[in-house]
Amino acid sequence: MSKSVILLPKLIRQRDAPSYLSMSEPFFNENVRPYLTEIRHGRAILFDRLDIDDWADTFKAANGKPGKPMEDTTWQNLPPVLEKKAASGTSTKQSLDGSFEKALANRNSKQRSAT
């Protein structure tokens, strides 16, 4: 059995370029297209995907906000919340007003009366 390979196109059609960047066509035409080399192929206009990616990287560097740094998530270093294992349907957090216990008792009593 042969593995299928997904190939990304080197050249992207003008009509597909805005969706490649997840943006509207007017925004693309005003803010991206002036910085790309247009390749004419018959009546079609194409853009090099790597040029589009370079524009996106520059845009990200100028406008992006860094995310929260990744923490060490080795098994020895798991947060305490992930170490607790609850049985199915069991709450690991105590309800302050007892509403969970009331709802659970109500559910259980309805199941018993239905049989």
For residue 114, what are the CA distances in angstroms to 104, 105, 107, 108?
Answer: 16, 14, 11, 10
- Confidence band for 69, pLDDT divided at 50, 70 and 90: confident
Contacts of 105 (CB under 8 A, 6+ apart): none
Residue with tokens 């069991």: 90
pTM above 0.85, yes or no: no
pLDDT at residue number 111: 60
Q: Where are the domains of the chain?
A: 11-63, 75-114
The reported pLDDT for the residue numbered 40 is 97
